[in-house]
Amino acid sequence: AQCTDERVNQVTPALFEAYPTPASMASAPLDDLERLVQPTGFFRQKARNILAAAQRIVDAYEGEVPDTVAELTTLPGAARKTANVVVSACFPENAEGIAVDTHVQRIARRLGWTRSWEPPKVEQDLLRLVDRSEWNHLTHLLIDHGRAVCRAPRPLCDECPESIAGECPSRDRLPRPARRGR
C-alpha cells in the first residue's frame, strides 16, 4: 500500500480541525494542505487531489460529499477502492462492491477465491462468492486479518483461526517467519 490507514488516521484529525467542511478545504492554501498531509508520503500530489476534490464537491455537489461510487470516482484522486471504502463507511445502504486493497487481494488469492492480480477482477470474483449484506464486513475482516496474521511475505499461519486455516490451500506452501532465539 502507498500509505497505511494508521498514517492517514494520524493526520486526519489536524486536517479536519483546520478545514472541517468541503468549502473550507476548497479554499485552503495548497502549502498548508501539503504540510498537514506530509507524513503520508506523496504529499504534494495528495494535497493537490484533496484541494481539487473539495472544490469539485463544492461546485458539483453543493458542498455535500457524494454518496455513490459513481459520483465519488469523479473526484480527483478517488478510484474505486477509495469510493467503496467511503460508501461502506458513510453510506452503507449504497454499497456497490468490496474495497480491494493489497490485503483483500492477497487473502482472496491465497484462499483460492480468485486467480487475478487485478483489483476490479478480484472484486468481481468476490462479489460472486459473498452475499451483498456481507460485503462491508468481509472487507474489514480481510484487511484486519491481512495486517495481523496473513501477512506478506511471511504469514503467521499457526495463528490463523481454524475456520480459515482449514480452508486455506496456501497454508503449507507459504514461507514462515524465522523463529527467534534459535
As annotated, the active-site residues are 81, 101
Total residues belonging to the chain:
182
Cβ 23 vs Cβ 53: under 8 Å: no
Residue 73's identity, in one-letter code, is T
CB contact at 8 A, 156 and 149: yes
Q: Which residue has the cell 481454524?
A: 162
**Nearest alpha-carbon partner for 109 in 98, 92, 99, 123:** 123
Distance CA 93, CA 54 (A): 23
* Rounded distance between C-alpha atoms, residue 74 and residue 107, angstroms: 29
Roughly how many angstroms between the first and final C-alpha of the chain, as a whole number? Answer: 32
